[in-house]
A = this chain, B = another copy of it.
C-alpha cells in the first residue's frame, strides 16, 4: 500500500527540480553552432551570469560539473606550489582544496567545523600571521551543501582587508547562487565559482567561473592553465572557443530558459521566496526537534542557509526508515547526509524551482514518516510551516 504514485518530489540538494519549461526548452533539434541563434544565446547567458552575481566581471561557461569549475578557477589564477588557504565549514571547501592539491597547489586548511560558519576573526588572524604573503588565495563556500551552513562572505572579505592581505578571494556559490544575496563586486570577491543544477534549476552539466580584473591580472602569470579551462583561450574570436570545442547546445537552450524564469520573477523576489520557504522549513524542523531524535546540524539559527537544511537524526535505523518511507510510501526523495554526516543526517533541499505546495508536500511526507514510524517528534511541524507562511506571505 502506498500513496506515492503521482509526481515524484525530489528534495535533494542538487540536481533540484528542473522546471517543465526548462526541460521543454531542451527538447529541440540541434542548431548550427558557428553563427546565428546560438551565438546570441551565449552572449545573453554571459550577461545573465553577470547580473546574477551583481558584477561587471568576466564569466565563463564550462561543460563540467562544479568540481570541474573548481579546477578551472584555481588553474586560471595560480601557479604550481602556490599556497591557498581553505576555510573549512563542512565538506565542500575542503573538497575544493583537495582538488587544488592534485594540480600542484600547497593547500592549508583553516580548521572549522561541520556545525558552524567560518569565523572571520580566525581568518584575519591567520592572514595577519602570513607576513611573507605566501598565501595566494583564500577559498570558501558561501553555503556548504553538506552542513547547510551559510558563511558571511562580506565579513570574511573584511577580515582579509583587516589583515592587509592581497590574496585572491575565491568563493564557491554553487549551493547558494539564486537562493540568497550575492554581490560579487560590492563584496570584493575576485573569483566566483558556480554551477547550474541547484538554484539555477538546470539539468547538471554546466558550471561557471566569474573573475574580476584583479583575477584576470593574476591569470596572465598563472602557470597551471590548461587548454580546456583556460580563460584566455576561451576569449578567442570564434564561438566555439568559448566552450573550448563543441558547445553544449541543449544545455544552453535550457539555461537560457532558466534565466528567463529568474528574470521574469526578478532576482530579489526569487531570493525572498527562498527566505520564506527556508524559514518555513526551519519552523517545521524546530517542532520536530522537540522529540529529541532530530536536531539542526547548525545550532546557530543565523548560520542556517536558505538552500538546504541538514537535520541530524540520532538513530541511524530511524534515519533510514524515514528516508525509505518518504520515498516508497510518499514518492518524496529526501537528501541523505554525506561526508562526515553520512548515516547521521537527512537534508531537506529548498532551492530552485520550489513553491509553497512543493515544500509543504515534502514536509508533510516527512511528518507522516515520523508519525507512522513512531519516531519521537514534536507534532505540528507542517502546521508551524503553514502558520509561518500565512503570517509572512502578505495578502
Residues of A with Cβ closer than 8 Å to B?
A: 1-10, 12, 14-21, 23-24, 26-34, 63-68, 70-71, 98-99, 102-103, 195, 197, 203-205, 225-228, 230, 243-251, 261, 265, 269-270, 272-273, 276-277, 321, 325, 329-333, 336, 353-362, 364-365, 367-369, 371-373, 379-380, 382-383, 385-387, 389-391, 393-395
Contacts and interface: CB of A to CB of B under 8 A. Distances in A.
A20 B7 contact: yes
B360 A356 contact: no
B30 A203 contact: yes
Contact of A17 (B6, B71, B393): B6
Contacts of A28: 20-21, 23-24
Contacts of A230: 102
Contacts of A367: 386, 390
Given A15-B246, A66-B246, A203-B250, A356 B330 contact: yes
Contacts of A66: 245-246
Contacts of A18: 29-30, 250
* CB-CB nearest 7 A-B residue pairs: A357-B361, A6-B355, A360-B364, A361-B361, A67-B245, A371-B390, A99-B227
A302 to B, nearest CB: 22
B67 A7 contact: no
Contacts of A368: 356, 386, 389-390, 393
A331 B357 contact: yes
A357 B365 contact: yes
Given A29-B18, A227-B99, A362 B357 contact: yes
Contact of A364 (B12, B261, B382): B382
A3 B387 contact: no
Contacts of A245: 65-68
Contact of A29 (B2, B23, B369, B379): B23
B331 A355 contact: yes
Contacts of A23: 26-29, 250
Contact of A24 (B1, B27, B372): B27
B226 A5 contact: no
A382 B68 CA distance: 44
Among the interface residues A3, A10, A103, A373, which one has the most CB atoms of the partner chain B within 10 A?
Answer: A3
Nearest to A324: B395
A205 B365 contact: no
A26 B250 contact: yes
Nearest to A244: B67
A99 B228 contact: yes
Given A64-B63, A331-B355, A354-B6, A1 B361 contact: no
A114 B83 CA distance: 45
